Amino acid sequence: MTEDRFAADRLTTRCRETLRAWHAPNDDQERLRRTYLEHLDTREAGWARSSAGAHLTASSLVCAGKSRQVLLTLHSRIGRWLQTGGHIEATDLDLEHAAGREAVEESGLFELVVDDNPLLLSRHEVACGPLSPTFHLDVQFLIRVPHALSPILSEESTDVRWFGLDELPDVDSSVRDLVRAAADRLGW
């Protein structure tokens, strides 16, 4: 087995471990958890963007504990406020690492603490790759920072900023659900 294949198999195993250990908060989330596991069981490197039709992604809601704020990015291609996140790379150690890497890339913040227990799962259709429809099977994490430090705008965004829970911009239900799940976990 080549080193690249070994790393890909190890990453698939780590994705399965995270999803198997996760206790879904409701029946819809449990159905998604099982769907993600089935996807990983039936696709070689089902986390890779080369997995036609669907692939795992990792995202996170960055939360500043003391100020009770969440960091959102205005995605330049999609034109919506979202949590940080994106594709899993072969160099990522696991889903948590991918979520943390994406958060650093999209926010410029470095003192991030990624909870190893996902918050939610979100399956959504995207324009990604040659096959349509393609779905992102997103595993969403909570990232904690002590203070709302100044973020740095990345190439992928037209804006990135902190919002209070009662000051969220126009976001879709998946982002509202993620913010609510993070607030519950943090006791806000």
Q: What is the pTM of this model?
A: 0.94
Cα separations (Å) of 181 from 79, 93, 184, 186?
24, 25, 5, 9
- pLDDT reading at 44 higher than 70: yes
pLDDT at 151: 94
What mean pLDDT is reported for the chain? 93
d(CA 126, CA 128) in angstroms, rounded, equals 6
Contact present, 101 and 109 (Cβ < 8 Å) = no
What residue numbers bound the domain in which 56 lies?
3-186
Characterise 108 by phi-psi region: left (phi > 0), alpha (psi -120 to 50), beta (else).
left
| CA angle, 51 then 92 then 65, to 5° | 115
d(CA 128, CA 109) in angstroms, rounded, equals 27
The domain total for the chain is: 1
Segment 100-118 shows an average pLDDT of 95
- pLDDT reading at 150 higher than 80: yes
Phi, psi of 87 (to 5 degrees): -70, 150
CATH classification at residue 139: 3.90.79.10
- pLDDT reading at 98 higher than 90: yes
- pLDDT reading at 129 higher than 80: no
Confidence of residue 160 (pLDDT cuts 50, 70, 90): very high
Give, rounded to a whole angstrom, the gap between the first and last alpha carbons of the chain. Answer: 48
**Burial letters 18-35, b for 16+ CB under 10 A, else e:** bbeebebeeeebeebbeb
d(CA 145, CA 125) in angstroms, rounded, equals 30
- Please give the structure tokens belonging to residue 41: 């069981």
d(CA 164, CA 66) in angstroms, rounded, equals 11
d(CA 58, CA 44) in angstroms, rounded, equals 18
What Rg do the C-alpha atoms of the chain give, in angstroms?
16
